[in-house]
Amino acid sequence: MFEKSFKREDNYMDPKNMVYKFIVKKLASGELEEGARVKEQYLVNNLGISRTPVREALVELASEGVLIREPRKGFRIKSYTKEDLVDLFDYIGLLTGKCGQLVCSSMRKIDLAKMRFLTDSMTSAVENCLYNEYNDLFVDFHEVYLLKCDNEFLEKELARIRFLYLGRISLFFDESKDLAESYHEVNVVNQELVNLFEKREADEIRFFLENDYWTDKKVDRYFKSE
């Protein structure tokens, strides 16, 4: 999320982001499922962009592991096993934890205020059943601190795996509870992260993101509910 060319203000609405955001919303609504085929014309019709940038976006997303490209068949949404997601969550935790630790001392009052504002906005989104908007705010929330990372290697790796995890907020949910309550619980954890940044607890931030936030326990719970 983190290379200069990737920042939201520069190219958030480029075709790749448009296609990805559209797929995430369709997954969240149940209109698409993992493993489903994604046709170019379907995206052209729904996004209002021409076929060439759509095709280029699909190729890019396939190279980043979001989609699978099948010769003569097109593209489909990649499905992940429990083991895949456990490994992914472990890796995300390591990367975001290290990034949070590095940027802790450089977080300004305005950054912390923005994170607080976004947690409040997520609460409002839940109360009004605006779940797609919540997902967008979830991305904004994490980008407040991740975009401040100056470690070139971390930046590139986080940018590379970005599309693998930002659409997977459902993995945080306890399926025994209703949707609003699950979203609310995610936001409580977000507030805990803000508290740690406000206290300048760099090592605790790293531990929290590695072991409590992106924990494979969420993956276990998700698969048990299926």
Query: Does 1 have pLDDT greater than 50?
Result: no
Which residues sit opposite 75 in a β-bridge?
A: 38, 69
Going by C-alpha positions, the residue among 158, 129, 131 that lies closest to residue 145 is 158
pLDDT tens readout for residues 197-223: 999 999 999 999 999 888 766 656 555
pLDDT of residue 200: 97
Q: Give me 124's structure tokens.
A: 């409002």
pLDDT of residue 177: 59
Query: Does 169 have pLDDT greater than 70?
Result: no
pLDDT of residue 95: 92
Q: Do 24 and 135 touch, CB atoms closer than 8 A?
A: yes
Average pLDDT, the chain: 82
Which residues sit opposite 77 in a β-bridge?
A: 67
CATH (one of 1.10.10.10, 1.20.1280.50, 1.10.274.10, 3.30.505.10) for 4-77: 1.10.10.10
CATH (one of 2.70.240.10, 1.20.120.530, 3.40.50.1950, 1.20.1290.10) for 82-224: 1.20.120.530
Find all residues with CB under 8 Å of 224, minimum gap 6, and list them.
none
What is the rounded CA–CA span in Å between residue 170 and residue 179? 9
Q: Which residue has the tokens 């409040």?
A: 120
Query: Does 2 have pLDDT greater than 80?
Result: no
- How far CA 171 is from CA of 44, 189, 222, in Å, comes to 29, 14, 6
Q: Do 206 and 111 touch, CB atoms closer than 8 A?
A: no
Q: Where are the domains of the chain?
A: 4-77, 82-224
- 4-77 and 82-224: identical CATH topology: no
What is the Cα gyration radius of the chain?
17
What is the rounded CA–CA span in Å between residue 33 and residue 185? 24
